[in-house]
Structure 1
Amino acid sequence: MKVARAHPLWLAYLLHRLSGLGLALFLPLHFWVLSYALNDAAKLDAFLTLTEMPLVKLAEFGLVFLLAVHFFGGLRLIALEWLPWSAPQKTWAAAAVAGSFLVSTTFLLQAI
């Protein structure tokens, strides 16, 4: 019996989620550094000198890799959504929407 998690599409799913998480963790730091351009140019210049370090260059490579993986993973998802679906795929999608509605309605009823 094969393990479902060894399937290439499961690995694509996992990589897409992890790349999104990595980008989400990076963006606040990126915006914080960009705020130096508006508020303190000397701090920005001091921070930018760090970008010459080999470890930072390697991290930039990793960031570009995460961006590319997330981009192409998104294209894969768009293809799944826009290309014709089989009947079982439609049933599972409808069940997911119904389940989401059930959970959110339960939350709403508890909140009011």
Structure 2
Amino acid sequence: MKTPPRSHPLWLAFLLHRLSGLALALFLPVHLWLLSQAVTSPATLDGFLAFAEHPLVKLAEFGLVFLLAVHMGGGLRLLALEFLPWSDRHKTYAAAAIGAALFLSGTFFLRAI
């Protein structure tokens, strides 16, 4: 089986899926720690929630929602590879998934600011 060249759109979709998964895996322990602060140290949680109102944090939330949407789209793409017939138009679907991820995360961002 020939592997696609690194400039191929589906290789880029593969890379984006892996990187988004890695970033989400790094974020999850921090998120769980922060949630634990609600029980163990409410003052620490309140301080972080005040910090979360900063515009750069809102931008980071946009990035997080984008990563979630991209990772979900990549997972759906992989399921399609496994269970559906594959054709050349799938690179268009991959591009549409990234566009949808940008739209969803952008909508979240605009509502958050």
TM-score (norm 1): 0.71
Aligned-pair CA distance for 1:60:
0.3
What are the superposed Cα offsets for residues 35-86 of structure 1, whole Å, 9 maximum, x if unpaired? 101111111111110110011000000000000000000000000111147x
Match of 1:54 in 2: 55
Q: How many residues align?
A: 83
1:1-112 equivalence runs, <5 A:
4-84=5-85
What SS class does the counterpart of residue 11 from structure 2 fall into?
helix
Which structure's residues are more often helix, by fraction? 1
Name the CA distance, whole Å, in 2 between partners of 1:78 and 1:38: 38
Q: Percent identity of the aligned residues? A: 72
RMSD, aligned CA: 1.3
Moved over 4 A (4+): none
Instruction: Structure 2: state its 5+ residue gaps.
Output: 87-113
Deviates more, 1:3-12 or 1:60-69: 3-12
Tell me which residue corresponds to 2:111.
none
Gaps of 5+ in 1: 86-112
Higher Cα radius of gyration = 1
Instruction: Give the TM-score taking structure 2 as reference length.
Output: 0.70
